[in-house]
Homo-oligomer: A and B are copies of this chain.
């Protein structure tokens, strides 16, 4: 798509091969099936937490995650389960967590907004707009000190690009040449506020100019476009050349939070956005390009549905955490029961 005035168009556009495309699709459908199941469990009253669906945004973390190793890290936000699923976080502890069980990745103490799974690089999930970015820098600094080629991806929304933490983090990352990729999932809305009513620039990628780093506006619904730009950004980071800002344009089909009635958008714009649903489009392309067949994709979907169902059943069978958990993990050392209240 378009690049900011300061940034030349991407010169070497990496193209995902057939296997990689299939892997991107696998991640996308895993996100979509998982999201669908989550909403259905909420409707049935089996989950009671607030839920921020990323339906419609599947392509972005999927096309990025195929370029990441297991030990590459992500810092994400309340609307971030898709980022984790794309990073191949296992579903059983994920579901146990969003159901508030002790076998959840955070023992039921964090819930969906604070899911954490260091084994797959899911380091921080935060509910404070803008806060994924400053922390991502710290992982970048650690990687430089360790002398590894690890990169960290910081995910955030378009609205988050207007908060102070964004600015401080991007400037610091650039001054320190940190291996961090700042990925803005621009879905056109911040809660109920339209992009242009909160953001004074037509493309968030232009803000990269102010930090002396490359910035690109990418079609977030096109796996090939996301892949090409993420590839360049990750290569740059691994080469020690510093951070990149990727603005990936997309849409969230389910509103801000489960139960949202979309009153702040028109039926037409929503319909237009949904017509650009990245999933069926990419599915068709894979078939049209001869990368795979409808049957194979259906089989894949079936396997993923089984994985999701298994995770749900696992979660529902888990125990709730003991009240003693309130005294644990406050500090490394458990707080003794007698001091509980103070």
Contact = CB atoms under 8 A, between A and B. Distances in A.
Interface of A: 5-6, 162-168, 170-171, 174-175, 197-202, 206-207, 209-213
Contacts of A174: 200
Of A6, A165, A174, A210, the most chain B CB neighbours within 10 A belong to: A210
Contacts of A163: 164, 167-168
Contact of A201 (B165, B206, B212): B212
A200 B207 CA distance: 12
A147 B175 CA distance: 43
A172 to B, nearest CB: 8
A189 to B, nearest CB: 15
Contact of A175 (B167, B175, B199, B213): B199
Contacts of A165: 164
A209 B212 contact: no
29 contacts: A5-B5, A5-B6, A5-B209, A162-B167, A162-B171, A163-B164, A163-B167, A163-B168, A164-B164, A164-B167, A167-B168, A171-B199, A171-B200, A174-B200, A175-B197, A175-B198, A175-B199, A175-B200, A200-B210, A200-B211, A200-B212, A201-B212, A202-B212, A206-B209, A206-B210, A207-B210, A209-B209, A209-B210, A210-B210
A201 B210 contact: yes
A175 B212 CA distance: 24
A213 to B, nearest CB: 7
Q: Which 6 A-B pairs have CB atoms at the shortest separation, nearest pair first? A: A164-B164, A167-B167, A174-B200, A207-B210, A200-B212, A200-B211
Nearest to A205: B210
A245 B140 CA distance: 32
A96 to B, nearest CB: 36
A212 to B, nearest CB: 4
A168 to B, nearest CB: 5
A207 B165 CA distance: 16
Contacts of A198: 175
A197 B206 CA distance: 22
A335 to B, nearest CB: 31
Contacts of A211: 200-201
Nearest to A211: B200
Nearest to A166: B167
Given A170-B200, A174-B200, A207-B209, 10 more contacts: A5-B6, A162-B167, A162-B171, A163-B167, A164-B164, A164-B168, A167-B167, A171-B199, A175-B200, A210-B210
Given A167-B166, A168-B162, A201 B197 contact: no
Contacts of A212: 200-202
Contacts of A207: 209-210
